[in-house]
Chains A and B, each alone.
Chain A
Amino acid sequence: MSSFIYLVAMLAVAWLVLWAIRDPKEPKWDWWPIEWWPFDTDTEAKMEQEGAEARQAAASAGHRRAVPWRERSGRSRRTTDAGKPRWRR
């Protein structure tokens, strides 16, 4: 059992090194027969998903209220346009 895990770990290390140096756009990588890389990440899809979730949240809340006023305006919550606290306005 231990030797089998060792073998898998050794193969994983070699495969990881190949993944780390490969550039799929370069023709010199055409020789590699396996397209499936276990190490591949999916940032693009996640980005799309999070963007869609944010848009959906915004739509359900009526756009403006989906994002806190402080983030929309970029101002501090405690100050007014003149830079004074609200209670001193």
Chain B
Amino acid sequence: MIARTTTPLRIGVASFAHTHAVAYVRNLLALPGVEVLTTDPDHGDRPGESGGAAMARDLGADYVETLDELLAWEPDGVVVCSENARHRPYVERAAAAGAHVLCEKPLATSVADAEAMVAACAEVGAHLMVAFPVRFSPAFAALRERVADGALGELCAVTGTNNGQLPAGRAWFADPALAGGGAMTDHTVHVADLMDALLGGAEPRSVYAQSNQVLHAGRAGAETAGLVSIAYDGGVVVTVDCSWSKPDDYPTWGGLTLQVVGSDGVADLDAFTQRVDGFSQPRRSPLWLPYGTDLDGLLVAEFVDALRTGRAPQPDGAVGVRTTRIVEAAYASARRGHPVDIVSA
């Protein structure tokens, strides 16, 4: 069991391939009693994109060139922000070096990888948390409370959307070899994680999915739109629109919504709607000035607090595996044109 506790806490950030690294580093640097060290060893694979020592300097974070140097610093925790397909080697090396891990979502691009990562962390007693920031939305927390206290009665159906722009600044998102897929990989798991929380970890049993490449045709090597239908143990059915369907000039990155239907009521969550609206004539564009709670800050705070107090942070690797099962089944279903059963281990 890892029981190393240093004061202050040392948190490493491994790779800037996923741009969420920026928010995580900023939030970590703002936390009292936390030391931060970063590395971005694969930035040479992203020519013309931000990264490496220059990006660390812009963020005001200390930087080393290799993961080995980062791990030699003996961090208490490592935040993995590599390309999806590279999560596994980063997580396994961090855990082997004695660090707890916060891994960017999706946990992995295959169920086999996800299960291996959970096993590798469990073996050495490292906690594995998956970065699902929407779970920390105060509005979602209120919804979860109302569902738990029975305000909606028995849940029966959920319509979820997680729509966004084509991810900018990082070409790998649309490269299946590194991302594992396109929009279906990128966006299904957020809603799937929220469902996991609302349903108390109920197993997804059957998945049907369809996808296309109508949007951003020629710019993406993978699907840019998709619908994923999930049937859970207990009978709840969920359909997720995971498309990159917000236009390039849309005034914000995208958003996430749930409509939850129960036997006694209906709830509508719009997690990123809090904003000042407007219009900019020079930009010839509507304005969207968000003022909602910084979810990345709450996510990072959960990881740090769990490490300080010696508890397992949530959402954990098991959620990461269940959500990865859904994505893997979605691709199988989209290929076959039929629903695919999930037989969990």
Do A and B come together as binding partners? no
